[in-house]
Amino acid sequence: MTALVLKDVCKSFGAVDVLRNIDLTVEDGEFVVFVGPSGCGKSTLLRVIAGLEDATSGDVEIAGARVNAVPPAKRGIAMVFQSYALYPHLTVKENMALALKQEGTPRDVIAARVAEATRMLELGPYLDRRPADLSGGQRQRVAIGRAVVRQPKLFLFDEPLSNLDASLRMATRIEIAALHRSLSAAMIYVTHDQTEAMTLADKIVVLRDGRVEQIGSPMELYNNPANRFVAGFLGAPAMNFLDAATLGGPGGATLGIRPEHLRVTDAGRIKGTVAHVENLGGDTNIIVETGAGERVTVRVFGQYPCTVGRSAALDFDDADAFLFDAAGARLVAEPA
């Protein structure tokens, strides 16, 4: 069964168009990530799906039923927020059980669901604690557990890891991925972090200015971006963009090349001076300033001795390059 269908969804606040003609299908068991820069409309779109905002036009269908006029509590969704939204006076166990109690769920069912969520999220030692006695990562796991016990048709995550430090983000990301595999439920996850999008998603929806720029699997978008925006947004370090004409390409076009596809050579087509070196241990990022004033990042696997101020020549295989026109659209042609 299809978990979610959006048909030509638009949302405006007065004269400001926030969402524009959004069409999307999410299948049962699919993990879909909305990604894009701040202000692109991804959180607003999630709120429209949840029923916290009304679409100005278009239809929202959940599990085959049109829910435009259905209140959030009746949509069969569970939402995990960035701010955790836990009740400070309730224990972990009580926080997870509260929504089920309010729905009149039998006690034995509540106990079984809380026990299962506790097992899945390894919350056993914390059941009698209150939120103030928990770390940020533990609080987020409780918030996820509160969603899990409801057994919703659709999980919605609104930047759930943004309040966590780097190590906790990675650990919680792994837990969310494991939870998805265990539940086989449809999940929609909003983030501005392209690393989260690439590592979690079955399907990524890239948004900009309220529009969908491209939809596809992480590797489809990485290897075959539809335009310069998608190419530059996905990937760390970001794709390099150079004037194609300086490399023998068409005038007015931009050549894109990913840092890992560049190599340092004795005589390359790109010449410049090393401006900075990032020694990361597992690999090395070399930032080169070209004679045309462009900055190019080269990613070298492993540890690579390099001195700031030295001359550098770079090259690449033509098959690894992309061409974009002046408006940023992908030119599907033989790369320069």
Q: What is the mean pLDDT of residues 123-150?
A: 90
- 2-230 folds as Rossmann fold (3.40.50)
DSSP of 53-74, one letter per residue? Answer: S--SEEEEEETTEE-TTS-GGG
- Residue ranges, comma separated, of all CATH 3.40.50.300 domains in the chain are 2-230
Phi and psi at residue 56, to the nearest 5°: -70, -35
* Token pair for 329: 């659209």
Say whether domain 237-331 belongs to CATH 3.30.1330.10. no
Separation between Cα atoms, residue 314 and residue 37, nearest integer Å: 31
Q: Model-level pTM?
A: 0.89
Mean pLDDT of the chain: 92
- Residue ranges, comma separated, of all CATH 2.40.50.140 domains in the chain are 237-331
- Residues 68-105: tens digit of each pLDDT: 999 998 999 999 887 778 899 999 999 999 989 988 89
Phi and psi at residue 183, to the nearest 5°: -85, -25
- Residues 166-223: tens digit of each pLDDT: 777 888 888 889 889 888 889 999 998 888 999 999 999 999 999 999 999 999 999 9
Separation between Cα atoms, residue 187 and residue 3, nearest integer Å: 9
